[in-house]
């Protein structure tokens, strides 16, 4: 009986156990194919945007005049949205300083005040429970709520600069 050196026997055993008989037999194992997620159609994407706008939009009017507001994406606006979810909120505003109208919300919202220079049309939260709508400019620490985009500075002065007004904020889902 012929003796096989120990090292060669061990190598043959390992090769046999690995299932590799030779170089010709070493084909790469098939790799799983990555599944691609289906892209939403343009119509589906538009539906998502419309649904987000419907749930994230609030309507605002100043003494019965509807205005378009670009609302901020922050906790104070989320709090305000929750406040008007079931019923519109009307706030009586009073002129202050010749550049703004201020009124109590009756509730405290989450404030994140930062030094801000406002412009006509800006809507801010002051002291956590006061809503301020500007027809001029001021620099102070406020939490931004939004900006009225449907009025010029002159239009804001006409709406707010002639005496106390009331604003109504309602959920965007109401018609």
CB neighbours of residue 21 within 10 Å: 10
Domain that holds residue 86: 58-171
Looking at per-residue pLDDT, the higher value among 36 and 166 belongs to 166
Handedness of CA 38, 42, 44, 48 (dihedral sign): positive
SS3 51: helix
Asked whether residue 119 carries a pLDDT value surpassing 80, the answer given is yes
| Residue 118 belongs to some domain of the structure | yes
Is residue 129 a part of any domain in this protein?
yes
For residue 24, what pLDDT is reported?
45
> What pLDDT, on a 0 to 100 scale, did the predictor assign at position 34?
44
Residue 167 is inside which H or E element, if any? strand 165-171
In a domain, 45, yes or no: no
Which range (19-33, 108-122, 153-167) has the least confidence? 19-33
Residue 62 lies in a domain: yes
pLDDT tens readout for residues 125-157: 999 999 999 999 999 999 999 999 999 999 999
Q: Is residue 95 scored above 80 in pLDDT? A: yes
Output the domain CATH number for residue 166: 2.40.100.20
Query: 99 lies in a domain?
Result: yes
* Tally of domains within the chain: 1
- Flag whether pLDDT at 47 surpasses 50: no
In a domain, 34, yes or no: no
In this prediction, residues 151-166 reach a mean pLDDT of 96
> What pLDDT score does 128 carry?
97
> pLDDT at position 122, please?
98
Q: Is 23 within the bounds of a domain? A: no
Model confidence band, residue 42 (pLDDT cutoffs 50, 70, 90): low
Q: Is 151 left (phi over 0), alpha (psi -120 to 50) or beta?
A: beta
Domain-located, residue 166:
yes
Question: Residue 74's closest CA among 103, 112, 105, 106?
Answer: 112
Instruction: Give 34-96 as a DSSP string.
Output: PPPPPPPPHHHHHHHHHHHHHHH-EEEEETTEEE-EEE--SHHHHHHHHHTSSS-EEEEEEEE
């Amino acid at each position: 009986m012929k003796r096989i050196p120990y090292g060669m026997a061990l190598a043959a055993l390992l090769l046999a156990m690995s299932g590799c008989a030779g170089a010709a037999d070493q084909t790469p194992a098939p790799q799983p194919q990555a599944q691609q997620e289906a892209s939403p159609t343009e119509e589906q994407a538009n539906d998502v945007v419309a649904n987000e706008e419907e749930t994230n939009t609030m309507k605002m009017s100043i003494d019965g005049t509807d205005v378009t507001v670009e609302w901020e994406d922050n906790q104070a606006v989320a709090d305000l949205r929750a406040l008007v979810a079931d019923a519109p909120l009307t706030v009586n505003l009073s002129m202050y300083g010749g550049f703004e109208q201020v009124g109590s919300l009756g509730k405290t919202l989450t404030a994140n005040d930062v030094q801000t220079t406002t412009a006509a049309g800006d809507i801010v939260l002051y002291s956590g429970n006061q809503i301020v709508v500007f027809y001029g400019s001021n620099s102070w620490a406020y939490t931004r709520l939004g900006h009225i985009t449907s009025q010029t500075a002159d239009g804001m002065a006409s709406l707010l600069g002639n005496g106390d007004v009331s604003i109504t904020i309602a959920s965007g889902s109401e018609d």
